Amino acid sequence: MVVGASGAHADPVTLDWSVVDRFRLFKSPPPPSRPLGDSGPGTVDVFLDRLGAARATPGALFPESASYDLIADFLATKRPYDGGPAVRPFEATRWRGAGPGVRDGTLALKPPAADRGYEPGYLYPSAYAVRVWVVGGAAADSCAWRVDGVEALGPVACDQAVRIPIPARDDHTGGRGVRVTVTVSRDGAKTAEGEVPIEVRDRLVIGLGDSYASGEGNPDQPQAFPQNFQTRIDRYWKDSSDPYDRWWRVGAVLREIQPARWWDPICHRSLYSQQAAAAFIYAAEHPKEAVTFASFACSGAEVLDGVIASQAKPPGLSDFGGPDGRRPFVLKPQIEQALELLCDGRGLSGDARWAATEIALLAAELRLPPKQQKAYVTTATRTEAKCAGAGVRPRKVDVLLMSIGGNDIGFAGAVKNALLPTQASDPIGQFVLARVRSSVGVTPTYLAHRKIMFDLPRVYPVMRQALAAGLAPDGVPIIQSTYPNPLLGEGDGARFCHGFLDNQLFASMNGMFPDQGVRPENRWRIGIDEAEGREVFESLFTPLNQAVAQNASNKGWRVVRYGEAFSRRGWCAGTEAERATFAFPALSQAVTASGKRQWSPFDPQDWNPYAPRTRLFRTSNDVVLTQIGSSEPFVKMVVNLGNRSFFASAGIFHPTAQAHVIIGLNVVREMEQALEPPSPGVQTAR
């Protein structure tokens, strides 16, 4: 910022500033108690500065490459945080409960922590810190700094930035306004002087929603294949006459795989998610604002099963059990979790205002369990939430991010219905096939379509009412993402993914069938043909996104669309080199010089789920290679191994981390429009 000189013989000087540790989710040292020399930006600020400077580069592999490459590198690299040891970013946040945890520095794992949740006081800092510097400051010059006219620091070399604490405002929406002044001297003579007003705005971004919001399919630390894995595979090959497509289901092999780890393992919530990506990008592009980001999104969540009522079966319960092995474990509704955070852990008051509605009848009609019915009615009929404790008001949310509706209409089940065969050649086979289809939870496409037409119009208004009662009252923008289409491959026009080569990406799911004694050419095979892809697109994706857009047409809501960003980048898209790796890895007949069999088309140990790719959606092969090792407690693997077939399909057709960045970039554009103050005299339409 350029400021004028305040002395008769002093030249003007340019000052600039940014918020220190502006992405507040990550642990960092507290602001200093007094101004002092700045030691340089920390780990997260360096990342954000690079991300903010990133632009689409001519010749880049993909339009999103500039942002995605930086985010993927940051999330995959261990670095020290707040003076601690080097860890991955998901282990250094103010969310307690990342995991599963590691016991005593070994590879042995323990269940998620019992005290899962954001740290007390996370939304209520007492102060912020800003970094202020003289643009083009020279080491030969001395700078004396004042804050609101009071001498603060100096003289120090003018090529060094200073770090200044800013007290928080009483409403905790940012820091109090201050005026910073600098006097520049050389050889004892004043040569320049300038000042800059500083006011820190702290943007509170809350995320709610389903697996598309949580980042399902993209664990913060993918599963790993240690050396013993190869040894077990070699033994399996020698002992089995039919090793293809099945090795991932063998207990002795799986026990050698290091399970995936998550920012929140109970919900399969990841920092690779669209909401985290949007928060990263917003913070990167607004260095003079702090960003406080808190997500409660949970894989498998529905409006009535997770958002406004407790979620019965979050995915982590099957992976690791409840926190610290606690069963039963009840996951509070996302809205309740968020409201309690706004109240700084004080809980909600029982004397809230209520709406007299027939919501209880709807809850009973939906056949929710009794406890869910009660939570549903309580949340949906509240018109004003209050914090427990006299004079305590919940902190105001700046923007609410959502992705919800897909699970309510059986999206995952409809996709599995298209993938799984429906007919067998004999009664026994038909019985087995029916059991398999039932175990993975298929939903006929026509039934999903009926839910879009009749269920979503009933539950979306209830959700809007519940959000308006404290989390997002009038004036808080709500940004709802649509569901990108995963079904179109490359080529001219609308080519739906289909055929043998495309469906190799689902070959791992073939291993769920107990058909070792059946000739390979007579076995069932997972796959989706062109007609099935078109049916899912026309009967599910198109009307689902129309329902999302209709819901987001209400006052205060915004819808996120993606234009052509996902065109021809569906689950089967890929260059010739990428398509050569579509097949599921299996041991070939070739033998290395050491006598070990070779993998084809690639070794699972070389799999990188976050390598840039043309396709933007996960397949069952991806899931098995990335996170299947996290599924079900080890003690249950032998006796309950068959149920693992469900997990091979848990993350399919979900966006890759690369896709989440694309969504995040589009979410940020809506955030900026929603948060930008209107021009004087101009009334906004929303």
- The string of pLDDT tens digits covering residues 12-59 is 899 999 999 999 999 999 999 999 999 999 999 999 999 999 876 667
Average pLDDT of the chain is: 85
Alpha helices in 27-169 (DSSP H): 43-53, 65-76
Residue-wise DSSP of 52-82: HH--PPTT-SSTTHHHHHHHHHHHHS-EE-T
Strand partners, 128: 166
Indicate whether 658 pLDDT > 90: yes
Please report the pLDDT score of residue 631 as a whole number: 47
Peptide bond into 120 cis (omega under 30): no
pLDDT of residue 639: 33
How many other CB atoms are found less than 10 A from the CB of residue 640?
Answer: 13
Q: What is the dihedral of CA 508, 514, 516, 522, to 10 degrees?
A: -80
Binned at pLDDT 50, 70 and 90, residue 362 comes out as: low
Which residues, including other chains, have CB under 8 Å from residue 92's CB and lie 6 or more apart?
Answer: 26, 27, 81, 82, 84
Residue with tokens 């249950």: 636
Strand partners for 101: 110
CA angle at residue 66 from 61 to 67, to 5 degrees? 125
Residue 360's pLDDT is what?
A: 60
Task: Name the nearest CA neighbour of 183 among 321, 39, 3, 398.
Answer: 3
Q: Which of 5-9, 329-333, 598-602, 617-621 has the highest mean pLDDT?
A: 617-621
Over residues 156-172, the mean pLDDT reads: 95
Top-confidence residue, 629 or 69: 69
Three-class DSSP category at 409: helix
Q: Residue 420 pLDDT more than 90?
A: no
Output the pLDDT for position 635: 38
Q: How confident is residue 186, by pLDDT bands cut at 50, 70 and 90?
A: very high
CA distance 590 to 599: 8
301-323: average pLDDT:
84
DSSP secondary structure letters along 455-481? THHHHHHHHHHHHHTTTS-TT--EEEE
Q: State the burial class of residue 396 (Cβ atoms within 10 Å of its Cβ: 0-12, 13-18, 19+).
A: middle
Please state, for a pLDDT cut of 90, what percent of the chain lies above it: 51
Residue 678: per-residue pLDDT: 53
| Model confidence at 308: pLDDT above 70 | yes
Q: Which is higher by pLDDT, 300 or 648?
A: 300
pLDDT-derived band of residue 613, with 50, 70 and 90 as boundaries? very high
Report the pLDDT value the prediction gives residue 56, as an integer from 0 to 100. Answer: 64
Q: pLDDT tier at 325 (50, 70, 90 boundaries)?
A: low
DSSP β-ladder status, 127-134 and 15-19: antiparallel
What average pLDDT does range 326-332 have in this prediction? 76
Q: Which residue has the higher pLDDT, 176 or 360?
A: 176
Distance CA 604, CA 429 (A): 32
| pLDDT above 60 for 82 | yes
Q: What is the mean pLDDT of residues 72-81?
A: 95
Q: Check residue 411 and give its pLDDT.
A: 85
Strand-strand pairing, 382-384 and 189-198: unpaired
Inter-residue contact 182 to 193 (CB < 8 Å) = yes
Q: Which of the pair, 484 or 491, is modelled with greater confidence? A: 484
DSSP state letters, 329-377: --BPPHHHHHHHHHTTTS-B-TT-EE---SHHHHHHHTT--HHHHHHHH
Convert the pLDDT of each residue in 213-230 to its tens digit. Answer: 999 999 999 988 888 888
Both structure tokens of 374 = 């009660």
Alpha-helical (H) ranges within 512-584 are 530-536, 542-551, 576-579
| Secondary structure element (H or E) that encloses residue 232, with its range | helix 227-239
How far does CA 600 lie from the centroid of its chain?
32
Reported as a pLDDT band with limits 50, 70 and 90, residue 137 is: very high
More confident residue, 290 or 418: 290
Where does the pLDDT of residue 323 fall: very low under 50, low under 70, confident under 90, or very high at 90 and above? confident
Is the confidence at residue 490, as pLDDT, over 50? yes
- Band of pLDDT at residue 667, cut at 50, 70 and 90: very high
Instruction: With cut-offs at 50, 70 and 90, classify the pLDDT of residue 684.
Output: very low
Tokens of 156: 């120090």
Q: What are the extents of the domains in the chain? A: 204-345+389-580+614-675, 349-384
CB within 8 A of 522, min separation 6: which ones? 425
Q: Is the model's pLDDT at 381 over the cut of 50?
A: yes
* The two structure tokens encoding residue 552: 């987001």
Contact criterion met (CB below 8 Å) for 538 and 414: no
Task: Report yes or no: 648 and 623 within 8 Å, Cβ to Cβ.
Answer: yes
- The predicted pLDDT at position 611 comes to 96
- Give me the mean pLDDT over the 461-486 stretch: 92
| Residue entry with tokens 């879009």 | 452
For the segment 536-574, what is each residue's pLDDT rounded down to a tens digit?
999 999 999 999 999 999 999 999 999 889 988 999 999
pLDDT at residue 396 tops 90: yes
Neighbouring C-alpha atoms within 13 Å toward the C-beta of 607: 25
- Helix spans in 132-226 (H): 211-214
Say what percent of the chain tops pLDDT 70.
83
What pLDDT score does 11 carry?
78
Residue 526 CA: distances (Å) to CA of 433, 501, 588: 12, 12, 22
638 or 510: which leads in pLDDT: 510
Core vs surface per residue 19-53: b (16+ CB within 10 A) or e: bbbbbbbbbbeebeeebeebeebbbbbebbeebbe
Structure tokens at 480: 């709802």
Residue 303 has pLDDT above 80, yes or no: yes
Whether residue 124 has pLDDT greater than 50 = yes
Pick from 121-135, 201-215, 352-366, 402-416: least confident: 352-366
**pLDDT per residue as tens digits for the range 219-270:** 999 988 888 888 888 887 777 766 666 787 777 777 788 888 999 999 999 9
CATH of 204-345+389-580+614-675 given 2.30.110.10, 3.40.50.1110, 3.40.1310.30, 1.10.760.10: 3.40.50.1110
pLDDT for the residue 227 = 80
- Band of pLDDT at residue 642, cut at 50, 70 and 90: very low
